[in-house]
């Protein structure tokens, strides 16, 4: 799914109006109906709604939603800045329609101070939508601060008040902290970054049947890795195949006291389907690895730590889990990278070693995948003031070095050498545990070994990792789920993917 800017979304609306054809007020009714239907279906225990409406088209959506919810049996109150103020043309139409209904009262925002927000009341935000160009000020800021103090369920229409669709305002901005954001047709970038995404709650993308032609011909560098894209990337296993059909994966990692990281990466590589899996590790991990991962073959890389990176050069390697940064290991790794001429996966301590000298970045072979978390990214490329700025720096570095950067975050971003960005929307806070990144390294290495391109391996691998974590959290909770639980759920994820392929035949 493409992520479009606020300006492109407005053009999308106009394109639909011009080419369907449909009038702007009919399109607003379509969007409002989708919102009202969702609220009616999912908020059955709440039969009262207070809707805060701005004077633009987002406010027009809110006014229409008020009418539609009232007709569905909700008690509805509407609050606006001033009923006599100038509303947009379509919002004015819906305000007139609302005034024709005797059961709905339109009041000013200052009525909020005496309004009784009982536990059956839903707060609906229709203040600004995607058109906001500056932080909230004056009465709007005070209103949103007041609403944030209330414990009621809060639902934002299209985008929470106070957020921009495409960027982050200064650090002191105020935004409505929604429980649900019912957005139209596509994700917005601000939903996917931690500084702004924390205000959206659960994002529900409502299809309001905008023109399918417009996004196909509209250029963007930002995408969401949704199910349709994953289905186009995934390659089901061929019946007449053998282990040689699915490549060789080598996990290079582990050191004394950190063999568990190599175990996790090896297990996830095995569970992701590599034909042959090897673990290059120090001899101190031999018994642990052979006992815990009997399907993988062991390659000795040293005694207490890895000092020798040697393996079948026809294999794809993932380096870093539990590697350590001992000078002998660092020297050996850098020497190896100078001589190695194939794409690989670099994570954890491999990145920390490379970060020791900016010149080391040139040793990473083009089309390789690196998987830094924000702190590792900072060591590699320098500090930034926000996740937005970090992403833009990542885009520049991915292009400069010709590599893929898997920038770990709540919504991990896959950055390509062409500067395209794919946001992942699977996964949850249960992955905020040591070992989760080691699993991802194993998954990515396995997919590369099986012949996926670096881009497809990155997109599919991060999605698999997150989807398995979602299944694990359903069984064990986010608090109690372990990285090993995530590995155990990979089979269920592949089962889902294969079922979808069969269904689409």
Q: Tens of pLDDT along 8-63?
A: 999 999 999 999 889 999 999 999 999 999 999 999 889 899 999 999 999 999 99
Residues 197 and 257 in one domain: no
Q: Is 192 in the same domain as 299?
A: no
Measured in residues, the chain has a length of: 505
Strand partners, 207: none
Strand blocks (E) in 293-398: 297-300, 316-319, 345-346, 369-370
State the DSSP H helix or E strand holding residue 450, giving kind and residue range, or none if neither.
none
- The pLDDT, as a whole number, for residue 381 is 98
User: Is the distance from CB of 227 to CB of 205 less than 8 angstroms?
Assistant: no
Q: Is residue 225 part of a domain?
A: no
9, part of any domain: no
Domain carrying residue 58: 16-218
Give 6: exposed, middle or buried? Use CB within 10 Å, 0-12, 13-18, 19+: buried
Assess if residue 135 is contained within a domain.
yes
Q: Where are the alpha helices (DSSP H) in 340-422?
A: 348-354, 374-381, 387-401
Which are the contacts of 454, defined by CB distance < 8 A and separation ≥ 6?
Answer: 343, 367, 368, 369, 404, 448
Contact call for residues 253 and 37 (beta carbons, < 8 A): no
Are residues 176 and 283 located together in one domain of the fold?
Answer: no
- pTM score: 0.95
183 shares a domain with 281: no
- CA dist 13 and 5 (Å) reads 12
| 211 and 252, same domain (yes or no) | no
Residue that is written with structure tokens 């582990």 in the block: 254
Report whether pLDDT(497) > 90: yes
Which of 181, 196, 218 is the last residue in one of the domains?
218
The answer to whether residues 258 and 127 belong to one domain is no
Q: Find all residues with CB under 8 Å of 3, minimum gap 6, and list them.
A: 186, 187, 188, 189, 192, 220, 222, 223, 224, 423
For residue 194, being part of any structural domain is answered with yes
Cα separation of the two ends of the chain: 22
Tokens of 440: 């991802």
* Torsion over CA: 149, 154, 156, 157 (sign): negative
Q: What is the pLDDT of residues 426-481, one digit of tens each?
A: 999 999 999 999 999 999 999 999 999 999 999 999 999 999 999 999 999 999 99
Residues 340 and 285 in one domain: yes
How many domains does the structure of the chain reveal?
A: 2
């Amino acid at each position: 799914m493409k992520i479009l800017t606020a300006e492109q979304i407005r053009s999308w609306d106009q394109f639909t109006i011009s080419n369907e054809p449909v009038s702007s007020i009919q399109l607003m009714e379509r969007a409002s109906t989708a919102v009202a239907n969702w609220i009616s279906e999912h908020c059955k225990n709440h039969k009262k709604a207070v809707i805060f409406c701005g004077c633009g088209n987002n406010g027009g959506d809110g006014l229409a939603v008020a009418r539609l919810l009232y007709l569905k049996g909700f008690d509805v109150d509407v609050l606006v800045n001033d009923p006599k103020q100038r509303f947009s043309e379509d919002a004015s139409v819906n305000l007139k329609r609302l005034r024709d209904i005797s059961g709905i009262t339109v009041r000013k925002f200052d009525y909020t101070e005496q309004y009784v927000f009982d536990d059956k009341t839903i707060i609906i935000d229709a203040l600004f939508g995607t058109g906001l160009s500056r932080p909230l000020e004056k009465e709007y800021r005070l209103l949103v601060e007041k609403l944030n103090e209330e414990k009621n369920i809060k639902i934002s229409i299209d985008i929470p008040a106070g957020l921009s669709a495409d960027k982050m305002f200064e650090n002191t901005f105020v935004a409505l902290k929604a429980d649900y954001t019912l957005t139209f047709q596509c994700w917005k970038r601000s939903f996917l970054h931690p500084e702004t995404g924390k205000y959206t709650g659960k994002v529900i993308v409502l299809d309001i049947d905008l023109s399918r032609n417009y996004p196909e011909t509209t250029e963007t560098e930002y995408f969401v890795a949704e199910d349709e894209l994953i289905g186009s990337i995934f390659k089901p296993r061929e019946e007449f195949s053998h282990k040689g059909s699915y490549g060789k994966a080598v996990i290079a990692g582990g050191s004394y006291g950190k063999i568990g990281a190599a175990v996790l990466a090896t297990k996830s590589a095995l569970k992701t389907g590599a034909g042959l899996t090897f673990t290059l590790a120090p001899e101190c991990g031999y018994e642990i690895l052979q006992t815990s991962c009997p399907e993988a073959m062991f390659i000795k890389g040293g005694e207490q730590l890895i000092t020798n990176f040697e393996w079948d050069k026809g294999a794809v390697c993932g380096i870093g889990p539990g590697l350590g940064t001992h000078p002998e290991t660092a020297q050996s790794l850098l020497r190896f990278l100078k001589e190695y001429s194939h794409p690989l996966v670099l994570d954890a301590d491999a990145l920390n070693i490379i970060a020791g000298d900016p010149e080391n970045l040139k040793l990473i072979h083009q089309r390789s995948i690196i998987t830094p978390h924000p702190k590792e990214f900072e060591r590699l490329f320098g500090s930034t003031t926000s996740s937005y700025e970090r992403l833009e720096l990542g885009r520049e570095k991915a292009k400069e070095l010709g590599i893929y950067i898997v920038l770990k975050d709540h919504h991990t971003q896959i950055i390509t050498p062409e500067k395209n960005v794919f946001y992942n929307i699977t996964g949850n806070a249960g992955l905020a545990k040591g070992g989760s990144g080691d699993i991802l390294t194993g998954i990515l290495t396995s997919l590369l070994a099986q012949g996926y391109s670096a881009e497809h391996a990155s997109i599919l691998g991060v999605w698999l990792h997150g989807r398995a974590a979602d299944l694990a959290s359903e069984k064990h909770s986010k608090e109690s789920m372990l990285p090993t639980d995530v590995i155990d759920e990979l089979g269920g994820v592949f089962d889902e993917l294969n079922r979808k392929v069969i269904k689409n035949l």
